Structure 1
Amino acid sequence: MKKSISLMLRLSATGLLAGALAACSMGGLFGGGNAAQNQQLQNATATPAAVAQAQTNALPAIATQCPPIRVRPGTEAMFYYGNGRTGDPKALQYQGVIDETSRNCVVSNGLITVNMGVVGRVLLGPAGTQSTVNAPVRFAVERDGQAVFSEKYSIPVALAQPARSAEFVKVLENVAIPYLGGEDITIWVGFDTK
């Protein structure tokens, strides 16, 4: 019994000593250390030269002005009619619509790298019997009025019965655009049925 009490007292003393040593070693993390140095860091201001140097050596930064992504007017929907009966609602086989667009950007080394995406739907019309439809979607990027990227993608959309509609998603990654800052850049997306 005496041995177990002695052992417990030694363990308790060892635990208290370890806790005290740990608290001493963490003083700098929790505001301990030299108060004058802490105050100096809190009131420090960087010179413009120091900020420029830090920006040069920094990792790629998220662009503060990511170009907008827009649906090109007239390309937000597509319609496919059968037997040359364009415009006849009863002859509509399927239609597609663009629901959402998204993009994000990273600027580094004179380039803006864009990831862009679109979400849309294909819906069967009254005359539609298709089980798969290809949605022709074009992504384009204009920089100061000049096309710097343009690609058309044929996105297969499975229309499983009994559903008469299905969603599609297309994401492009790492589209690099020359970027110095201040350029007028627009990302366009839409159906391209030509």
Structure 2
Amino acid sequence: MALATALSACSSGGGFSPRSWISGGPDAKAEQETLEKFAPVAVCPDVQVRDGTQMMAVFEKGKEGDYSAIRFQGTIRKFARECRTDVSGTTTVKVGVAGRLLAGPNGATGAATLPVRVVLVRNGDEVLYSKLYPLDVTIAPGSAAADWDLVAPDVVVAGDKSQGNFVIYVGFDESKKK
């Protein structure tokens, strides 16, 4: 009985466990993984759709601006983020964006490329990250729409830049077309 009490006292605190007795000590790799997994998150910015970029019309070639010639209309419907800060203070944010491609008035099917941009801004005007993701989306014959999604896994805030007000903007970027 005394042995059982002594063993239970060792395993309830102080960092000793039967596993460390068998292996010869604590597992440094497991401890590092635990520290990273449970590190407090330094920065986790809100995600917003930039005004005027939540919808995008895709026109027939040569008929840009003619709303009777819309082949497709892309929309952004959902967005989310997941933040993780490592032990060095660097935060990695995964940004998810999802939407739908709708057939235009003439019921077109086929493929369209939707230019989705993800931007991380600090203090209203300092761009820390900006990347354009061209998404190829296809509306199958017999369908009037297709869902799409994107995950931007590499939005990073360095530990030395983790102070301030942050916002992640998502939206369609048609600037390359103009």
In the superposition, the TM-score normalised over structure 2's length comes to 0.71
Q: Do residues 101 (structure 1) and 54 (structure 2) align?
A: no
In 1, Cα distance between the equivalents of 2:40 and 2:95?
15
CA-CA distance at 1:183 after TM superposition: 1.6
What whole-Å deviation, never above 9, does each CA across 1:36-78 have from its counterpart, x for those lacking one?
Answer: x99xxxxxxxxxxxxxxxxxx9435241651111111110000
Dislocated runs of 4+, deviation >6 Å: none
- Whichever structure has more helix as a proportion of its residues is 1
Residue in structure 2 matched with residue 70 of structure 1 by the alignment:
48
For residue 119 of structure 1, the aligned residue among 94, 98, 105 is: 98
Identity %: 28
Rounded to whole Å, the distance in 2 between the matches of 1:137 and 1:85 is 19
Counterpart check, 1:183 vs 2:164? yes
- The equivalent position to 2:131 in structure 1, one of 151, 161, 177, is 151
Q: Work out which of the residue numbers 99, 102, 111 in structure 2 matches 1:132.
A: 111
Q: 2:153 aligns with which of 173, 178, 187?
A: 173
- Contact 2:84 2:93 survives alignment (8 Å): yes
Structure 1 residues not aligned, in runs of 5+: 1-20, 39-56
Q: Does the 8 Å contact 1:92/1:128 carry over to 2?
A: no
1:7-27 Cα deviation digits (max 9, x unpaired): xxxxxxxxxxxxxx8xx7488
For residue 92 of structure 2, give the secondary structure of its aligned residue in structure 1: strand
Aligned amino acid, residue 127 of structure 2: A
Distance of 1:125 and 1:94 partners within structure 2: 5
Greater gyration radius: 1
Per-residue deviation, 1:129: 2.4
CA RMSD, 1 decimal: 2.9
Structure 2: state its 5+ residue gaps.
14-33
Higher relative CO (Cα under 8 Å, sequence separation at least 6) belongs to 2
Structure 1 residue 162: deviation in Å? 0.8
In structure 1, C-alpha distance between the alignment counterparts of 2:70 and 2:65, rounded to whole Å: 8
Conservation of the 8 A alpha-carbon contact between 2:42 and 2:91: no
The answer to whether the 8 Å contact 1:140/1:149 transfers is yes
- TM-aligned CA distance change 1:26 to 1:118, over 3 Å: farther
Q: How many residues align?
A: 148
TM-score scaled by structure 1?
0.66
Q: C-alpha distance in 2, partners of 1:26/1:135?
A: 66
